[in-house]
Amino acid sequence: MKSLNIYHDFNLDLKLYSIPKKFIDSFQENKRKINFINIDDKTINKQDIEVFFGNRIKDDDIKSYKNIKWIHLGCVGYDALSIDYISRNNIILTNSKGLMTNSMIEQILNYITTFSRGTHRINNLRQSGKLTRQNFDFYYDYIENINTKKVLICGYGEVGKRLSEILNYLDMEVSLLSRTDKKDFKSFTLNNIDKAVENIDFIINLLPLSNETENIFNSQVFSKMTNAYFINVGRGKTVVEKDLIKAIEIGNLLGAALDVFEDEPLELDNPLFNYKNIILTPHIAGLDSNYWTNQLDLFSHNLNKYLASNLSEMKNKIT
């Protein structure tokens, strides 16, 4: 039986972006020999690529892989890909939806409670050598419980749905912003974003990147916010960063927590670093130590269904 080569782009020197040996070894007992090949291998013939597994594939890559049949994304987002082209050419596209949901929610909860309990202010006092209750008393009026606070969840996919349930359980007043009206909570569509952000305490951005959402958080929208906290774990290019900074400076925003950015990685001279009330994390909201264990379960299931031609039983199918 002919072996199957799986081409991947997990070739960075980071635990999340390099396939563990135990992951590869787990496929060696398969009846059909499975080989994992780095897509950067210069000896690769692009016409041999049937299965691709990774995060950084582009439309031009797909078009050059004339015999590709299945793409599995190690992430959730696929907004950079032409779904029409993939579908027209009968290419299977699956993603890793569900693997990062809990991690992202916990990260968002961490941001919310960091702001509400003043943890970021405490850290600033510590770093300046002024960590006393007397100095912290200056921030007394900013320390509040989150129950009864108003939160706007922008994007109502799997993470947004679960997050809305949790925040509602914590007695926060939940409203939603999405492409279509939702019945579960008070809901706004994207063209009503100016109205949606008014009088909101926490704005949580989970929106994917599209023509509709690119730069959607701009000066006009930030001007409608009052004493709000802005959290972005969606897509960096949905936010105009210079407008966010201006909103911080004039006080429309009390603080911001950003896990994604217009350009990544952040350059060290990026002005975002200059603000103590802006929390920065390096695109790790979906990260946890069980990623590869969970990825193995998902990819193994889909690979077995693919090899058996049971394509309808593959999980997380987009096309």
Sign of CA dihedral 192, 196, 199, 202: negative
Measured in degrees and rounded to the nearest 5, phi and psi for residue 244 equal -65, -45
Please tell me whether residue 63 adopts helix, strand or coil conformation: helix
Residue pair 114/120 in contact (Cβ under 8 Å)? The answer is: yes
Residue in 148, 170, 168, 149 with CA at minimum distance from that of residue 160:
168
Among the listed residues 106, 264, 267, 313, the single catalytic one is 264
Spatial CB neighbours of 162, under 8 Å, sequence gap ≥ 6: 101, 105
DSSP 266: P
The structure tokens listed for 149 are 């606070």
Tokens of 15: 């635990």
Catalytic residue among 56, 117, 162, 283: 283
Active site residue 72: no
- Active-site residue identified among 121, 235, 241, 262: 235
Distance CA 144, CA 138 (A): 14
Task: Report residue 196 CA to chain centroid gap.
Answer: 22
Please indicate whether residue 162 is annotated as part of the active site: no
Cβ–Cβ < 8 Å for 62, 85? yes
235 is a catalytic site residue: yes
Encoded tokens for 212: 């509709």
Instruction: Give the distance from CA 236 to its chain's centroid.
Output: 9
CA distance 256 to 235: 15
Q: Which residues are catalytic?
A: 235, 264, 283
